[in-house]
Amino acid sequence: MKSAQLEISYSVYQDSDELSESDKNLLLRAREVTKLAYAPYSKFNVAAVALLANGQIVEGTNQENASTPAGLCAERVLLSTASMLFPNIQINAMAISYDNLQGKSIAPATPCGICRQTLQEYEDRLKHPIRLILGGLEGQVFIFEKAGLLLPFAFTGTAMKKN
Ligand SMILES: [Zn+2]
């Protein structure tokens, strides 16, 4: 037996002004798009905005439902939209922001587990890392060079393949 360690690297910026122009624009747009969320229950408006390899921008917001499990996160709304409108076009970067209508929005929020799984598969499918830019309406910004970094030991379906 031997023990093993896992290390994840990401960048921390003090605020959006430290970002590159492209990353900053994407995050500012995500902050703006939080207004389009449908989140009457949680009052936690989330937006995701992606820059595709073909230069197109795709947006998503959380879409809640009185039947809680029927709701969808912003990230998966975005990925489904991108997959339909721009099939097989890689996603270069995705900014995710939120507006907590009952509290603060001063630190990055990371995608939930199901979204991490979905992001991971999108990266695998198109063989391209999705750079994640995570930030609230203000405060620090985290950048992960690959969404899959957020889901170590992801289930990828490899085990289901026939020999
Ligand atoms: Zn999610």
Q: What is the CATH number of the domain that holds 71?
A: 3.40.140.10
C-alpha 163 – ligand 1 centre gap (Å): 33
How many CB atoms sit inside 10 A of residue 125's CB? 11
Spot the catalytic one: 59, 75, 121, 123.
Answer: 75
Reported as half-sphere exposure (CB side, CA atoms, 13 A), residue 25 has a value of: 7
C-alpha 111 – ligand 1 centre gap (Å): 5
Q: Let me know if 75 is a catalytic residue.
A: yes
pLDDT for residue 157: 85
- Within-domain flag for 123: yes
pLDDT for residue 138: 98
C-alpha 20 – ligand 1 centre gap (Å): 26
Per-position pLDDT tens, the chain of length 163: 999 999 999 999 999 999 999 999 999 999 999 999 999 999 999 999 999 999 999 999 999 999 999 999 999 999 999 999 999 999 999 999 999 999 999 999 999 999 999 999 999 999 999 999 999 999 999 999 999 999 999 999 888 888 7
Are 46 and 110 a contacting pair, CB within 8 Å?
Answer: no
Q: Considering the entire predicted model, what is its pTM? A: 0.96
- Within-domain flag for 116: yes
C-alpha 47 – ligand 1 centre gap (Å): 11
- Within-domain flag for 1: no
pLDDT for residue 62: 98
Domain that holds residue 22: 11-151
pLDDT for residue 158: 86
- Within-domain flag for 27: yes
Dist CA 27 CA 16 (whole Å):
8
pLDDT for residue 159: 86
C-alpha 13 – ligand 1 centre gap (Å): 23
C-alpha 159 – ligand 1 centre gap (Å): 24
Query: How many angstroms separate the Cα of 138 from the Cα of each of 1, 44, 132, 150?
Result: 46, 15, 17, 22
Dist CA 74 CA 49 (whole Å):
9
- Within-domain flag for 113: yes
Count up the domains in the chain and report the number. Answer: 1
